[in-house]
Amino acid sequence: MSEEKSLNFIEEIVEADLASGKYQSITTRFPPEPNGYLHIGHAKSICLNFGLAKKYGGKTNLRFDDTNPVTEETEYVESIKDDVRWLGFEWANELYASNYFEQLYGFAVKLIEKGLAYVDDSTSDEIAQQKGTPTTPGVRNQYAERTAAENLALFTDMRAGKFADGSKVLRAKIDMASPNMLMRDPIIYRIKHAHHHRTGDAWCIYPMYDFAHGQSDSIEQITHSICTLEFVPHRDLYDWCIENLEIFPSHQYEFARLNMTYTIMSKRKLLQLVNEKHVTGWDDPRMSTISGMRRRGYTAEAIREFCDRIGIAKRENLIDVSLLEFCVREHLNKIALRRMVIFDPLKVVITNYTNETEILSSENNPEDETAGSRDIPFSREIYIEKEDFMEVAPKKYFRLAPGQMVRLKSAYIIKCDEVIKDAAGNITEVHCSYIPESKSGSDTSGITVKGTLHWVSVAHAENIEVRLYDRLFKVEDVGNAEGDFKDHINDDSLQVIANAYAEPALKNDKADDRYQFIRKGYFSVDKDSTPGKLVFNRTVTLKDAWAKEVKKG
Ligand code: ATP
Ligand code: MG
SS3 427: strand
Instruction: Measure the CA–CA gap between 488 and 469, rounded to whole angstroms.
Output: 16
207 φ/ψ angles, rounded to the nearest 5 degrees: -70, 150
Q: What is the pLDDT of residue 5?
A: 76
**Integer-rounded Cα radius of gyration of the chain:** 31
Active site residue 33: yes
Q: What local confidence, expressed as pLDDT, does residue 356 receive?
A: 86
Closest atom of ligand 1 to CA, residue 45:
30
Q: Within 10 Å of residue 278's Cβ, how many Cβ atoms?
A: 16
267: annotated active-site residue? yes
CA distance 278 to 173: 46
Atom of ligand 1 nearest to the CA of 49: 18
Percent of the chain with pLDDT over 90: 92
DSSP 324-355: HHHHHHHHHHHHPEEE-EESSEEEEEETT---
Q: What is the mean pLDDT of the chain?
A: 94
Topology given in CATH for the domain delimited by 347-452: Ribosomal Protein L25; Chain P (2.40.240)
* Candidate list 33, 150, 363, 429, residue with the active-site label: 33
- Point out the ligand nearest to the CA of residue 313: 1
Examine the residue annotation and report whether 548 is marked as an active-site residue of this protein. Answer: no
**DSSP assigned state of 183:** G
Query: pLDDT value at position 512?
Result: 52
How far apart are the CA of 42 and the centre of ligand 1, in A?
6
Given a cut of 60, whether residue 2 has pLDDT beyond it is no
| Homologous superfamily of domain range 9-255 | HUPs (3.40.50.620)
**400 C-beta closer than 6 A to ligand 1:** no
pLDDT digits (tens, 9 = 90+) for 9-27: 999 999 999 999 999 999 9
What digits encode the pLDDT tens for the residues 13-63?
999 999 999 999 999 999 999 999 999 999 999 999 999 999 999 999 999
Residues 282-296, buried b or exposed e (16+ Cβ, 10 A)? Answer: bbbbbbbbbbbbbbb
- Edge-first strand order for the sheet with 534-540 is 337-339, 514-517, 521-525, 534-540, 462-469, 494-502, 341-342
Measured from the CA of 39, which atom of ligand 1 is nearest?
3
Residue 38 φ/ψ, nearest 5 degrees: -75, 150
Residue 226 has pLDDT above 70, yes or no: yes
The catalytically annotated residue of 257, 347, 450, 486 is: 257
Q: What is the dihedral of CA 258, 254, 225, 113, to 10 degrees?
A: -130
Q: What is the sign, positive or negative, of the torsion defined by CA atoms of 272, 278, 279, 280?
A: positive
Query: Atom 26 in ligand 1: which residue has the minimum CA distance?
Result: 41
Q: Where are the domains of the chain?
A: 9-255, 267-337+464-552, 347-452
Q: Does residue 71 have a pLDDT over 80?
A: no
Q: What is the pLDDT of residues 464-517, one digit of tens each?
A: 999 999 999 999 999 999 999 999 999 999 999 999 999 999 886 665 589 999
The answer to whether the CB of 361 falls within 8 A of the CB of 375 is: yes
Ligand 1 atom closest to 32 (CA): 10
Annotated catalytic residue: which of 267, 329, 409, 415? 267
SS (H, E, C) 58-99: CEEEEEECCCCCCCCCHHHHHHHHHHHHHCCCCCCEEEEHHH
Fold classification of 267-337+464-552 (topology level) = Ribosomal Protein L25; Chain P (2.40.240)
Q: Sheet with 93-96: list strands edge to edge.
A: 27-30, 59-64, 93-96
pLDDT higher than 50, residue 547: no
What are the pLDDT digits (tens) for 156-182? 999 999 999 999 999 999 999 999 999
Instruction: Tell me the pTM.
Output: 0.93
The tens digit of pLDDT for each residue in 331-364 reads: 999 999 999 999 999 999 999 999 889 999 999 9
Buried b (16+ CB within 10 A) or exposed e, 252-268: bebbbbbbbbbbbbebe
Decide whether 267-337+464-552 matches 347-452 in CATH topology. yes
Q: For residue 217, what pLDDT band results from cuts at 50, 70 and 90?
A: very high
Q: 413-421 and 405-408 as β-strands: parallel, antiparallel, unpaired? A: antiparallel
Q: Which of 275-284, 293-302, 381-390, 538-547 has the lowest mean pLDDT?
A: 538-547
pLDDT at 206 over 70: yes
Residue 155 contacts residue 109 (beta carbons within 8 Å): yes
Closest ligand to C-alpha of residue 266 is 1
pLDDT of residue 507: 80
Mutate to test the pocket of ligand 1, among 10, 39, 42 (most ligand atoms within 8 A of CB): 42
Tens-place pLDDT, residues 250-274: 999 999 999 999 999 999 999 999 9
Residue nearest to atom 4 of ligand 1 (CA): 267
Would the CB of 265 count as within 6 Å of ligand 1?
yes
High-pLDDT (> 70) share of the chain, %: 96
Instruction: Determine if ligand 1 sits within 6 Å of the CB of residue 41.
Output: yes
* Of residues 78 and 545, more confidently modeled: 78
Evaluate: CB of 31 within 6 angstroms of ligand 1. yes
- Please tell me if the CB atom of residue 131 comes closer than 6 angstroms to any atom of ligand 1: no
